[in-house]
Structure 1
Amino acid sequence: PANLGGGCSMPPLKAFMDDTTIICSKEEETRRMLARLDTLMTWCRMKFKPKKSRSLSIRKCKIEEAVTFTVAEQQIPTVSQEPVKSLGRWYDSSMKDTRRGVETVQFASEGLLAINKCGIQGKFKVWCLQFMLIPKLLWPLLVYDICCSTVESIEAKINKYTRKWLGVPPGLSDVAMYCRKAKLKLPMKSILEEYKCGKVRLVTMLEESDDPVVKTVQPSIKTGRKWKVAEAIDE
């Protein structure tokens, strides 16, 4: 047990601490904060895992590669050295989402090709597309700043395989495939429409937040030139 002084002691307990983010304006402040946290963790018999942590130092709008931090007598890897994934989003030294759009398109192509190679019937392939592949694609599309034209290219690939699996003529338009008022009603959802609805839902949630800090910040959602969230909300 830990001795608290005055005849009081704390029984040894095992605990778990969730992720901690430290944001400081100066390098020395960050080092003092890490040293203080390291002392507290040693006192309560807990420990940090520097290999699972990442550090990022920005000075004059540029990433400082030479600045490194240590905790538990071990160096914390920088984001440039080892990119980190948090809540389904990758963070690297580029600080941009351009590469993520290309990776999402590649992932969609590989997923469609894998489903197409399956030996199941066409309608079951469409089921795998709607309930397995599209949900996996929607998360990066909503998390990253990916333009609308990239999503349109993904939907074009999806529609090509969908027509093949359902046996419908190639000339069937996309409107006829996803329309809910036509005679041909297919229980399918468009990834482009889900992408637009998700972006609108995100902006509305931020604007109607009860937190005054979040509410006053103007959300910057980048969707390219073809379609803008603000114009869609105004309409």
Structure 2
Amino acid sequence: MKFKAAKSRSVVIKKGQTTKRFKLYVQNEEIPSIVTSPIKCLGRWFDASLQDRDNIKNLKQQVEEGLKKIDRCGLPGKFKAWLYQHALLPRLIWPFTLYEVPRTTVEALERITSRHLRKWLGVPPSFTSIGLYGKSNKLQLPLSSLVEEFKTAKARLVLTLRDSPDEFIREAGIQTRTSGKWSATKYVSQAENALTHKDIVGVTAVGREGIGARKVVLWSRSDLKERRARIQSEVRRAEENARQARAVEMGAQGAWTTWNTADRRLTWGDIWKYEPFQFSFFLRSVYDLLPSLVNLCRWGLTAEQKCSLCDRVGTLEHVLSSCSTALTQGRYRWRHDLVLRELADLLEKERKKEHGNHPRHGHIAFVKSGETVKTQKPTKASILDGSRD
């Protein structure tokens, strides 16, 4: 095996600072200094600072440039959101795993991405991030949170180093550092304690489930692969519980927490079927962000919040389906009735037409040998001309 100096790096530290004044040689070949030639190993860059400060700046720049590229493309907003979820976000998980990124930095990046997602989905800036990333909402979108993916990646790294099959890696004492605000090691320990507590509590029925309706694998009997998966799921569940606790504190956008309705989880296939304004109306109606009379008064745009038809408070529910005057006058079904009236008029005209006897379907005109059949061009007619009634 031959030592290759070009693939190696040297670092000289004098009085606590790196310097390139001194050169190191191996077999009369100079080893490049890390001051002038940073090196990349296993996806991680090492430079003269021996810290991740510059790498974190590059990560921020990568996120901002990626969002700008997606924003400048000529695709509709929902396609831009798909590009973020399936193109940009997977490229960020590995840097989150390698570098010591503080949680505050990830939260700042999530605010930037959430601002772009709101713009692409056609919702106002006041739309809560819980509506974008919540997995226990009444309406769930197929979007992932940067903070949640960051915590899951760090928890995965802790488990990989701690439970490595290599004895030297396990005993090396490698610490997964994040920041003083949040510790990945403590978070994994809390998740393990929660799973151990579930074993003590046992299986509890949900709703009308009977005994043995669900197959539950105990934490104490799980293998290494199952434990890693369950710890990551527990980290995501804890993050979702924090989102739901914040949603309960919201007056308007958290009203869905009191609804007694089934959850609806949208897939990308469902989103493709919506028109842009239709999907925007859908999101804003669920989280009470439409310009109802109550919201207009709350926003300071009007002084009166009572309905002009029935003199009741004009909430979103009242405007959409509960105004007694609008129900009596048929205002809610007015557009629907217009369409039905057009169809009824067309059918009535066709009904009054005289319809002759038409040949039965399946009639075959045989042609003698040597003769040709004169083909007639079919005349354009309504689909109702072939009816017998």
Structure-1-length-normalised TM-score: 0.73
**Which of 142, 157, 166 is 2:112 aligned to?**
157
Q: Output the amino acid matched with 2:25.
A: F
Q: In the alignment, what sits opposite 1:138?
A: 93
Instruction: Establish whether residue 70 from structure 1 lines up as the match of residue 26 from structure 2.
Output: yes
Match of 2:178 in 1: 223
Aligned residue runs from structure 1 range 33-112, under 5 A:
37=2, 48=4, 50-57=5-12, 63=18, 65=20, 66-71=22-27, 73-112=28-67
Q: Alpha-carbon deviation of 1:76? A: 2.2
Task: Name the counterpart of 1:34.
Answer: none
Between structure 1 and structure 2, the one with the greater Rg is 2
Shift of 1:125: 0.5
Q: Could you report, residue by residue, the CA deviation over 1:165-202 in whole angstroms, capped at 9, with x for unpaired residues?
A: 01123222112211112122111111111110010111
SS at match of 2:140: coil
State the shift of 1:103 in Å. Answer: 1.6
C-alpha contact 1:55 1:69 (8 A) present in aligned 2: no
- Give the root-mean-square deviation of aligned CA atoms: 2.2
For 1:86, the aligned partner's letter is C
In the other structure, the counterpart of 1:10 is: none
Aligned partner of 1:11 in structure 2 is: none
What is the letter of the counterpart of residue 153 of structure 1? A
Distance 1:169 1:184, change over 3 A: farther
Q: Deviations over 1:116-141 (max 9, x none)?
A: 11100111101111111111222212
SS class of match (1:85): strand
- What is the CA deviation profile of residues 6-61 of structure 1, one whole-angstrom value per residue up to 9, with x for unaligned ones? xxxxxxxxxxx8xxxxxxxxxxxxxxxxxxx36xxxxxxxxx4x444323356897
For these two proteins, the number of residue pairs brought into alignment is 189
Secondary structure in 1 matching 2:65: helix
- Segments of 4+ moved more than 4 angstroms: 57-64
Distance 2:30 2:166 in 1: 36
Match of 1:205 among 135, 153, 160: 160
Q: Residue by residue, what CA displacement relative to the aligned partner does 1:99-153 show, whole Å, maximum 9, x if unpaired?
A: 2112211211111111111100111101111111111222212111111111111
Letter in 2 for 1:117: R
Q: Which residue does the alignment assign to 2:68? A: 113
- Is 1:185 equivalent to 2:140 in the alignment? yes
- Structure 2 spans left out of the alignment, 5+ residues: 191-389
Q: Distance in 1 between matches of 2:182 and 2:67?
A: 26
Evaluate the alpha carbon distance shift between residue 217 and residue 74 of structure 1 in structure 2; reply closer, same or farther with a 3 A threshold: closer
- Report sequence identity in percent: 36
The whole-number CA distance in structure 2 between the counterparts of 1:58 and 1:184 is 56
1:210 is displaced (CA, Å) by 2.4
Structure 1 unpaired stretches of 5+? 1-16, 18-36, 39-47
Question: Given the superposition, is the C-alpha separation of residues 59 and 209 from structure 1 closer, same or farther in structure 2, using an over 3 Å criterion?
Answer: farther
Amino acid at match of 1:160: R
- Separation (CA, whole Å) in 2 of partners of 1:52 and 1:211: 26
